Each structure stands twice: as C-alpha cells, then as structure tokens.
Amino acid sequence: MRKKYLFGIVILLLILAAFGIYQVYKPHRNAAGEEAAASLAAPDLYLEFQHDENAANKKWVGKVIEVSGIITSVNESAAYVSINLKAAAEGGINCSILKKDLNPEDKLKAGDSLTIKGKCTGFLMDVNLVDCVIKK
C-alpha cells in the first residue's frame, strides 16, 4: 500500500517538473499573430490613462492594441529595444520589443512616425506595451 502512495507521489512530481521545464523553455510570443482590440493615437491613449486610470486599466490592460505616434527615444538593452512614443509633455507610450523581432533593416530614430502593436500592461508614468511588433 505504501509503495502505491510513493509511486503516485513520484509520478506527480515528474509531471510538475515536466510542466516547469515546458514553461521555462516555451517560445516567446509577440503580438504579431493577434488581432488588435483597437487602434489609437499615442496622445489619446495616454490622456485616457491620465484622466481616469482605473477605467483605462479595465478597458485596455491585457489587450493587444495598435498605437501610432512619433518616436521620442530608442533605447537598447541586452535583449530588448524600448521605443518611447510622444504623447504629452509629462509622459508617453513605452513599447518593449525583443531585438529578434525587429527587422535589422529598420533604422528607428527620434522624430520618425510609427505604428506599434503590443499588449498593454498599464500605467507607470508612461503607458506600457510589451511583446510589441512594428506594424508595416
């Protein structure tokens, strides 16, 4: 009887370990294959969050949206590129893109007009979008 319990516990631990390994090594997904819930200008999205953050959170957080705007800065880190779109004097839209998702021929610089699709994660001084792709 005790062997059956031990065997069941070992099987359960193996299943949990396999699930954990899958979660760690599963491929990264970006917003390219997902349909956008809306298409907005950067100032409109920013003002919506600034005016009523709770309502904007309910409306946009967790959803894929397209945002059009003018680039104010492009910053690179180890694996990501952070593109900031101009929205207001106090802040903007911060878009995080994996370097591998960028076309090497695209030369992004301040002043360029751009449309980005990404998943909204909320408002922390800027509206943040993750898993972004540049929309052609």
- Quick: pLDDT tens for 90-129: 889 999 988 887 877 778 888 889 999 999 998 888 899 9
Task: Report how many domains make up the chain.
Answer: 1
Domain that holds residue 71: 31-134
How many whole angstroms separate alpha carbon 93 and alpha carbon 90? 11
Here the tokens at position 106 are: 């695209």
Task: Report yes or no on 3 lying in a domain.
Answer: no
Q: Is residue 13 part of a domain?
A: no
H helix or E strand, kind and range, residue 56: helix 53-60
> Considering the domain boundaries, does residue 66 fall inside one?
yes
Q: What is the predicted pLDDT for the residue at 28?
A: 66
Residues comprising the chain, all counted? 136
Q: Mention every residue, 6+ apart, whose C-beta is less than 8 A from residue 83.
A: 71, 73, 74, 94, 95, 97, 108, 114, 116, 132
Task: Report yes or no on 99 lying in a domain.
Answer: yes
State residue 13's pLDDT score: 92
B/e letters for 95-108, b = 16+ CB within 10 Å, e = fewer, are: bbbeeebbeeeeee
Q: Domain for residue 20, yes or no? A: no
CA distance 60 to 64: 8
State the CATH number of the domain containing residue 54. 2.40.50.140
Task: Report the pLDDT value the prediction gives residue 136, as an integer from 0 to 100.
Answer: 63
Where the chain has pLDDT below 70, the residues are: 27-28, 31, 136
pLDDT at 120: 92
Task: With respect to residue 128, please indicate whether it lies within any of the assigned structural domains.
Answer: yes
Which amino acid, 135?
Answer: K
